Amino acid sequence: MESAEAIAYSSTANLGPGFDILAIAHNAFHDRITASISDTNIEGGIRLHGMAEPLDPLRNTAGLAAYRLLKEMDIRDSIDLHIMKGVPAGYGLGSSGASAAASVAAIDRLFNLGLSPEKKVEFSMAGEVASSGTPHADNVAASIYGGFVVVESISPIKVRRIRISEEFSFITIIPDFRIHDKTRIARRLVPQAVSIQKYVENARYIAELTSGLITGDRELVRSGMNDAIVEEARKPLFPFYDAVKRIMIRNNAAGACLSGAGPSIMGVVDRDTNVRGIRKEAAEYLKSIGIESNIVISNLAGGTSSD
């Protein structure tokens, strides 16, 4: 095969209390990457084309993940990666993770490598390390495995996709509010220590959220999609967060959380949610404080191998 293509979906990490361990993939957005063997010799082995930004493969997670894969698998061919960038970058929607995941999946197909999903996560993480300075697998795990994932270990990589209730879908509010170097700043705000009370509080949220998502119990999701530790510390960066979450809850979303490191806010919705109310009120509120927004409804997405 001279070229191969892969899709990877956007994702929401943390889901409230699950810092670095929980994430879901949603079909709100996706990246599509086509990998092909170049007929000319490329210095370094990788060339990026299309909507990738930046196009320097050493500053792009798709490129970094590809480098890591080629090096570890000892592939000497030169590769062209054509990137159809669908996931907006800088909004907490797992954009860098989706690019890395699509890149690894496309190259895996091109050379018929049969990489395990764990290996795909490992290679894809190379890009995440570069973009945040800290190894975290949550977004790439969601994009590669699809669905709702628990990152059980990052060294070695161990991820579990857990089936959740089909009752739930998602609404994502994407405020046009970008903070330069957000991912690093957001990481820096994470407290180094937490009180035992906050531990117990957050542990309870995790138990409620996990069991609520699995069993389809919206009240448990409502109670559990909260965070006294990481979201609490990051909230000052996003002064509109509390108000938008209140709008979602008032319109009977099952739950709402900061998507990853923000600024996007994701709501878990079901048939009892007034989705139109959320759309209208959230957009109006954000506009009233001078912030434009996009609002996207989505469902749980598959992984890179199930598209």
Rounded least distance, CB 215 to a copy of itself, Å:
7
For residue 284, what are the contacts with CB-CB under 8 A and spacing of at least 6? none
The answer to whether residue 122 is catalytic is no
Catalytic residue among 183, 210, 273, 304: 183
Question: What is the enclosing helix (H) or strand (E) of 7?
Answer: strand 3-14
Alpha carbons within 13 angstroms on the beta-carbon side of residue 243 total 14
Residues 21-60 within binding reach of a copy of itself (CB under 8 A): 21-22
Beta strand 18-37 with 46-50: parallel, antiparallel or unpaired? unpaired
In contact, 206 and 225? CB cutoff 8 Å: no
Considering the complex, state which of residue 62 and residue 150 has its C-beta at the smaller distance from a copy of itself.
150
Is 229 an interacting residue with respect to a copy of itself (CB under 8 A)?
yes
Considering the complex, state which of residue 151 and residue 266 has its C-beta at the smaller distance from a copy of itself.
151
Number of residues this chain uses to bind a copy of itself (CB under 8 A): 34
The answer to whether residue 281 is catalytic is no
Pick from 254, 257, 268, 264: nearest CA to 218 = 254
Residues 187-226 within binding reach of a copy of itself (CB under 8 A): 190-196, 199-200, 202-204, 206-208, 210-211, 214-215, 220, 223
Catalytic residue among 12, 34, 122, 128: 128
In contact, 195 and 247? CB cutoff 8 Å: no
Amino acid at the residue 102? A
What tokens does 149 get?
A: 């994932």
Residues that bind a copy of itself in the complex, under the rule CB under 8 A: 17-22, 150-152, 160, 162-163, 190-196, 199-200, 202-204, 206-208, 210-211, 214-215, 220, 223, 229
